Structure 1
């Protein structure tokens, strides 16, 4: 695996394993890069352990990524790497691993604080609302044009409108349920600071 070769050439196979065993990633690896190293270390176990043990190692790595608070996208990227380069011989183990991924990525953490809970809840609800609304508007516009190109453009534009609506809803929720400043809310909701300031003023005017 070229990726594994690169990691070990850059940091040394011994040093990579030692950092993992000691859990000492500070100053040597960035937080996310450390988890990439963990992923590679699990990959290196291919052929050295039983499939059941390998499945357990994969799931344990998945749990660790979730507990560290990494985004779903980053976790799925690393899990995709494992699925591609560390394949099970038994199809049933692939199914079990996929089920573990869905279960752990969709299950809210029990220790999640109010702010993290709001972020997680609104991201999920907003994403669902944005996609549903976008698809509906897109299909309606596409049908009106009556051609496949119109449907594609309509869906794309509709989804974009839905996502923008979701961002505004998310920003409003953060304004109501957190004490974050405008800059942080803008960053989390992926909107401009001016947009957050406008929303905050509207809330103050209503109050």
Structure 2
């Protein structure tokens, strides 16, 4: 893991767009970044790159397997929709919509799980995902979406926990909705 405060930016010698320096001073790095370079952070970032190159393919396959395990446990629930493509999408993200169930209500009910109703950059917005709407989804279904993000330390046990404590009760809830006794959206 790389420490906070380090990053890399590749700029070609003759860029088409002029990039303005964010830090001014001694004119280091062709005027792009003045100041003393943090060598310890640069070395750490180099090591992180080396590890990522070595493990990335294996890690992506592991995450894809976990994501597919989660999807396979969810996909048979009535009125569940996969948002995106399992083959073309990120291997660590599963975005699904549960018709008739408000996404924000699900998030509030899932105290032990870190899930989201959209991307981090739109987390403060109450609007449905513009990406889901661009894919042709109506606002109601877009509001019913949940995003599961998996990471380096996500385990099969955590996926199974999610399926037991989230998916099974949700499936029972959706079944109740389709029995004809309930005609409104569910606010869990």
TM score, norm. by length of structure 2: 0.22
Kindly indicate which of the two structures has a greater share of residues assigned to strand.
2
Which protein, 1 or 2, shows the higher relative CO under an 8 Å CA cutoff with sep ≥ 6? 2
- TM-score, normalised by the number of residues in structure 1: 0.20
